[in-house]
């Protein structure tokens, strides 16, 4: 009798394909955005309004920083594992992202280190480009840094933040499209593109908010100069964002009133999480570590599903134990590349004293963050066999 019930339950499970990623739809909801929104509410309501909370934000941010060891760092390292273990054919097919980009980044870092003390502020190259920027009405200037090395890693850092915002928006779009498939919530190409560009507009808004201004900000001892673009670009980004988000809402309402199709909470929550944490008018620079933490947490069920399904397809025993060991290994490798190696190299080279900045920490973070964007750009596509075979089944 017991055996007969067990067989029937298996048949029911096979007849009804799983419509969640990791353990349950409820857990997916919290991981892909729900938890971040719940945490954002007291931050937004209390920060700057309640004194005891405002003074605690610094401590809370450091908690998020240390949580990165267990969430953010595995997030980055897992993307390397998933990309470079798909075989030579996959790597060669995506040679630009997986071969050329890391080589260019490595050369950039070597050039910066080898030419750290070269003063280029009055060089022909800098003067000509600055004259060109002045002619076309841009406030952008080269030569603001004291030397070539600082100039190179400074612009590398600016580009890193440029790709980070883009990556956050694209990941949110990916979460929504996966749940659209899991929910059988059909979207036309036009509807998908409206949602895609609506999400990308948050990146334009955030990056331009930070770079349509002069001045600089500290980053591991280096003063990174803003791009100083015209402020009207930010104003245009606000208009574009509003128009696109109205169109996104219109798409969802049209599908509901025309066909009775209602998007699930798991489809909507990644977009709501991005809007609450990403848009400058709602955000606070002190919360950046939390934004990064929740972004990495959002990644977790996707990697977990792919890895666990791979183990099951290969009929490996103890799939859950292997998955735990996989993430433990990612934590260790993440610690090495985000902490141990750069700090050791900075200490050995006396970077803080000689270069007045933690050169290797900046270089490692820039390399991994920028390359991570390019890796994920080819990794999480429905036409990728691993995504098709392991994520959606």
188 three-state secondary structure: coil
**Alpha-helix runs per DSSP H in 16-147:** 25-29, 35-46, 51-67, 72-84, 88-93, 95, 101-114, 124-135
The tokens of 284 are what?
Answer: 């606070």
Length of the chain: 393
pTM score: 0.88
The answer to whether 390 and 306 are in contact (CB under 8 A) is: yes
Enumerate the β-bridge partners of residue 222: 219
**Would you say 261 and 37 are in contact if contact means Cβ atoms under 8 Å apart?**
no
The pLDDT-based confidence of 16 (bands split at 50, 70, 90) is very low
Mean pLDDT for 277-299 is 77
d(CA 194, CA 296): 25
Give the number of C-alpha atoms closer than 13 A to the C-alpha of residue 104, restricted to the C-beta side. 11
Tell me: pLDDT of 11 over 80.
no
DSSP result, 169-182: HHHHHHHHHHHHHH
Closest CA to 300 of 151, 180, 175, 158: 175
- pLDDT band with cut points at 50, 70 and 90 for residue 6: very low
* Angular region, 226: left φ>0, alpha ψ -120 to 50, beta rest: beta
pLDDT band at residue 12 under the 50/70/90 scheme:
very low
Is 287 a residue whose pLDDT tops 80? Answer: no
DSSP string, 86-99: S-HHHHHHTHIIII
pLDDT of residue 5 exceeding 80, the answer is: no
pLDDT band with cut points at 50, 70 and 90 for residue 8: very low
Going from the C-alpha of 77 to that of each of 69, 295, 302, the distances in angstroms are 11, 14, 14
> How does pLDDT run across 174-192, given as a tens digit for each residue?
999 999 999 999 999 999 9
C-alpha span between 274 and 311 (Å, rounded): 32
Mean residue pLDDT of the chain comes to 87
Is the CA virtual torsion 12, 13, 15, 20 positive or negative?
positive
* The pLDDT value given to residue 245: 97
Q: Give yes or no for a contact between 246 and 9, defined as CB atoms under 8 angstroms apart.
A: no
pLDDT confidence band for 51 (50 / 70 / 90):
low
């Amino acid at each position: 009798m017991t055996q007969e019930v067990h067989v029937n339950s298996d048949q029911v499970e096979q007849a009804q394909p799983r419509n969640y990623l990791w353990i349950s739809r409820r857990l997916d909801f919290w991981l892909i955005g729900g938890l971040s929104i719940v945490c954002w509410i007291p931050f937004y309501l209390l920060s700057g309004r309640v004194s005891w909370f405002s003074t605690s934000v610094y401590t809370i941010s450091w908690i998020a920083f240390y949580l990165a060891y267990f969430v953010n760092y595995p997030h980055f390292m897992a993307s390397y594992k998933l990309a470079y273990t798909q075989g030579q054919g996959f790597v060669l097919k995506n040679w630009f992202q997986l071969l050329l980009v890391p080589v260019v980044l490595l050369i950039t870092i070597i050039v910066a280190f080898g030419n750290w003390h070269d003063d280029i502020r009055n060089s022909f190259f800098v003067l000509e480009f600055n004259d060109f920027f002045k002619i076309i009405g841009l406030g952008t200037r080269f030569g603001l840094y004291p030397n070539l090395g600082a100039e190179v890693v400074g612009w590398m850092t600016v580009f890193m933040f440029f790709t980070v915002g883009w990556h956050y928006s694209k990941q949110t779009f990916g979460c929504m499209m996966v749940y659209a498939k899991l929910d059988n919530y059909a979207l036309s190409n036009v509807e998908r593109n409206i949602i895609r560009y609506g999400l990308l507009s948050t990146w334009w808004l955030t990056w331009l908010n930070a770079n349509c201004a002069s001045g600089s900000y500290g980053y591991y001892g280096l003063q990174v100069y803003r791009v100083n673009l015209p402020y009207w670009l930010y104003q245009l980004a606000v208009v574009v964002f509003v128009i696109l988000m109205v169109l996104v809402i219109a798409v969802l309402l049209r599908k509901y009133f025309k066909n009775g199709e209602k998007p699930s909470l798991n489809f909507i929550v990644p977009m709501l999480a991005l809007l609450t944490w990403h848009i400058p008018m709602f955000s606070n620079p002190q919360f950046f570590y939390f934004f990064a933490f929740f972004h990495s947490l959002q990644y977790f069920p996707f990697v977990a599903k792919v890895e666990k399904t791979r183990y099951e397809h290969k009929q490996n025993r103890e799939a859950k134990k292997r998955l735990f060991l996989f993430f433990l290994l990612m934590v260790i490798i993440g610690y090495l590349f985000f902490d141990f190696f750069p700090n050791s190299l900075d200490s050995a080279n006396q970077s803080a004293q000689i270069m007045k900045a933690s050169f290797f920490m900046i270089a490692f973070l820039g390399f991994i963050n920028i390359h991570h964007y390019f890796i994920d750009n080819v990794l999480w596509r429905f036409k990728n066999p691993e995504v098709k075979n392991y994520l959606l089944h």
